[in-house]
Amino acid sequence: MKKILFILIALCGFIEINAQAITEGTKWFDGKVLYTAHILDNGEIYFDAVENTDGVYAFSLRRMSHAPGEYMLIPSNMIDDAPFRAQFGWRVQYIRKEGMYFLAVRNRQNRIVWELILTPDNLKNCLAQQKDAEAQPIDGMLDGYLMNTKFLTRFSKEELKQMHAKLKALPSHTIISQTNMELIESEMEVVDYERFALINEDVDQSYTNEGKDYFALVTHFSSLKEGMEYIQSMGYPTPVIHGMWEEHEMTFVVLPAEDDSVVELRHTELNGRFQVVPTGEKPIVQGTPGKPLCFSYAVSEGVPSYIVVCRKANGKESTWVPQFSGRDGSLMTDSDFIDGEPKG
């Protein structure tokens, strides 16, 4: 903790020189990537990350004329996807308050979803500082360390909820505690597969199109209309549909992780070890490769009636039973069938 405080004190001397605006050559760290700012002839600011050799990282900002320190996130070229789980056109604010200097990416609800802190250090030192921070007891970091999204991905949503409650209970808030609260609120609304993808970027490419570790995204809605809108928003084709949508039935959606995976819905039985397994010679309904599944179902407290089977092209197979947690009422998922609940 002392080491982190020393870093912050040393940073204060550096940032006094760069306090008024984003300037040429300044460096900005988001927990993984170290960006360098370049002022273009048209006044826009281009950020690249030459020290990060594991990929190509870049984005651009356009200064807004109505207020100092206000920018808009714009693409660096026509084929760019928006970084930071953001959308082009979102507001980016250069915050300079209480000795903290950082860029805050804000969503349409004006909540901070990502932050990049101004730093004089190189990538190696930034990553070392990040590692030091992650090793500290979290209670001492809540209002004493400006967190970033990479830092927060280590925590479960239940842990994030507890952290948020502790921050909210503070008698007063600083720019650090307020920013951390907003980042935690944003992180709690991110679907699990996106959080897992960020965690695994440093380890492997589990979530690339070359083969995903998980089998499918699963979620539920109160109506068929909501489920169909979600499937469309996720870029999937029209699903195979099963159900009557009677009273008390919910809509369940299963999105296969890979284009050649097949999803089917089956009846269940208990095997000799009292485990719920598929039964019957044929599935109730089966999709073609890559096709999602949408079905209605009223979850009961007894033996489940339905089980989802997902089979990959390589022959690997996994099953999922739609049921809710008795502890908090959330949809139960696992490492094969992960939470695809839309947020925000």
Number of domains in the chain: 2
**Structure tokens of 314?**
């390589």
Burial class of residue 246, CB neighbours in 10 A (0-12, 13-18, 19+): exposed
pLDDT tens across 315-331, in order? Answer: 999 999 999 887 778 89
Q: Which of 152, 175, 190 is the last residue of a domain?
A: 190
Q: Tell me, yes or no, whether 177 and 266 share the same domain.
A: no
In a domain, 236, yes or no: yes
- This prediction's pTM: 0.58
Q: Tell me, yes or no, whether 40 and 112 share the same domain.
A: yes
Which amino acid would we find at residue 264?
Answer: E
Q: Which of 120, 155, 190 is the last residue of a domain?
A: 190
In a domain, 199, yes or no: no
Q: Tell me, yes or no, whether 244 and 298 share the same domain.
A: yes
Q: Tell me, yes or no, whether 25 and 159 share the same domain.
A: yes
Q: Which of 190, 205, 235 is the last residue of a domain?
A: 190
Q: Tell me, yes or no, whether 178 and 270 share the same domain.
A: no
Burial class of residue 226, CB neighbours in 10 A (0-12, 13-18, 19+): middle
Residue 306 in this model has a pLDDT that exceeds 70? yes
Across 39-68, average pLDDT = 89
Question: If you average pLDDT over every residue of the chain, what do you get?
Answer: 87
Q: Tell me, yes or no, whether 181 and 232 share the same domain.
A: no
Helix axes 175-188, 157-168, angle to 10 degrees: 150
pLDDT tens across 165-195, in order? Answer: 999 999 999 999 999 999 999 999 987 767 7
In a domain, 261, yes or no: yes
Q: Tell me, yes or no, whether 7 and 94 share the same domain.
A: yes
User: Length of the chain, please?
Assistant: 344
Domain that holds residue 305: 216-339
Burial per residue of 49-88, b for 16 or more beta-carbon CB atoms within 10 angstroms, e otherwise? bebeeeeebebbbbbeeeeebebebbeeeeeeeebbbbee
Residue 209 in this model has a pLDDT that exceeds 70? no
Q: Tell me, yes or no, whether 51 and 156 share the same domain.
A: yes
Q: What is the pLDDT of residue 7?
A: 47
In a domain, 344, yes or no: no
In a domain, 202, yes or no: no
Q: Tell me, yes or no, whether 35 and 107 share the same domain.
A: yes
Q: Tell me, yes or no, whether 250 and 316 share the same domain.
A: yes
Helix axes 123-134, 2-15, angle to 10 degrees: 140
In a domain, 208, yes or no: no
Q: Tell me, yes or no, whether 172 and 222 share the same domain.
A: no
In a domain, 14, yes or no: yes
Q: Tell me, yes or no, whether 226 and 304 share the same domain.
A: yes
Residue 9 backbone phi and psi in degrees, to 5? -65, -45
pLDDT tens across 241-279, in order? Answer: 999 999 999 999 999 999 999 999 999 998 887 789 999
